[in-house]
Amino acid sequence: MRLFPRLLLQHLTGVAVTAAVLVGAAEVSAHPFIQHHVNSMIAQMGAQEGHMRADLTQGMRDTLTRALLTALPVALVVATLFAWLAARRVTASVRTLQDGSRALASGAYHRRLAVTGEDELADLAGSFNTMAGALERVEQGRVELIGNVAHELRTPLAAVRGYAEAGQDGILPPQEALTAIAREMASLERLARDLSVVSRVEGGQVDLHVTAVALEGLLLQARERFALAFEDRGVTFTVTAPPGALQVHADAERAQQILSNLLSNALRHTPPGGAVHLRAERRGAVAVVTVADSGSGVKAEHLERIFERFFRADAARTRGDGSGVGLTIARGLARAMGGNVTVSSVPGEGSTFTWTVPVA
């Protein structure tokens, strides 16, 4: 049986049972009240026992019965109408949810339900809309991810094909062509590795081995790794380590990955003659590590989006040596270790990335 007739039948059954109970209760409970009232009337009238008592009792009982029988059909009609309306509203809401669910199942994630009222059905429609919005964002992210990955793969693959054809045609010496191909393959491997890290970070599945790590050692190691790269680009690179033996709660390898991604980003966006300053200090229960550059800066509307996968403020610009997910990885790893990565920037003057990490 369909939901509407089943609900209506249940309501009508409840109405019928209630009516029967009401009539039975009235007939049973009315007797002592009628008897008491008749006795009072006879006492006031000074009448004797006899046919008057029986006539009054029977008359009042008949009057009560007729009143019940007259009111009962009206009550049943009104109750049936309300039962029909209630069943119709419930089934209409269920049907709307059913249509919406089918639309979502078919991929129409833009589908939303009208929210009317303030009852549980309205709450259910609101929850459905929230779920649909989340699914729509996930689908949009999936489509963007596929497009971005395809775009990121297109450049190195085209380069590999070009170098291979140049080697085959004799335009490049075989050794030079192989060297160039190996360089592009390394770029592809780095992209695949970064995408794997991003998926684990966003899924909360990254393996962390958090211990007490000397923050000064992390900064000095980062300076050693990047000093030559900054020198080759003509960018001044300075490091200010925190005073004392400050230790933080962090995974040493992942912490170094955060610093590497932040410094690589600063190096990529700082022109020759500019400067990058890596600094750390303690502020209460956290250590604050900043990477400040004198690069082009980021517009205010793009500050949060730069942590999205493959986001570029200028779509016409190429990625360069970056995989496009370095900042995404940095923020994800920082949050996994109980901290965060934020950014402040002034267009034309530079950007400052701030990494907070709990103090050991």
C-alpha atoms less than 13 angstroms from C-alpha of 223 in its C-beta half-sphere: 17
User: Which residues, other chains included, contact 149 with Cβ-Cβ below 8 Å and sequence gap of 6+?
Assistant: 195, 310
pLDDT digits (tens, 9 = 90+) for 309-359: 776 665 444 445 555 788 888 888 899 889 999 999 888 889 999 999 999
Residue 132 has pLDDT above 90, yes or no: no
Residue 36 has pLDDT above 90, yes or no: no
Strand partners, 354: 290, 342
* Stronger pLDDT, 71 or 159, i.e. the higher one: 159
Residue 178 has pLDDT above 50, yes or no: yes
Tokens found for residue 32: 């002592």
Residue 23 has pLDDT above 90, yes or no: no
Residue 101 has pLDDT above 90, yes or no: no
Percent of the chain residues past pLDDT 70, beyond the cut: 77
State the CATH architecture for 211-358. Answer: 2-Layer Sandwich (3.30)
Amino acid type, 175? Q
Mean pLDDT of 165-178: 84
Supply the mean pLDDT for the chain: 79
Whole-prediction pTM: 0.58
| pLDDT value for 34 | 64
Using the CB atoms, write b or e for 118-129: b if 16+ within 10 Å: eeebeebbeebb
| pLDDT value for 54 | 66
Confidence of residue 194 (pLDDT cuts 50, 70, 90): confident
**Pairing between strand 236-240 and 275-283?**
parallel
| pLDDT value for 169 | 82
What is 124-202's CATH number, 3.40.640.10, 1.10.287.130, 1.10.1370.30, 3.40.50.1100? 1.10.287.130
> Where are the domains positioned within the chain?
3-108, 124-202, 211-358
Tokens found for residue 231: 């020198």
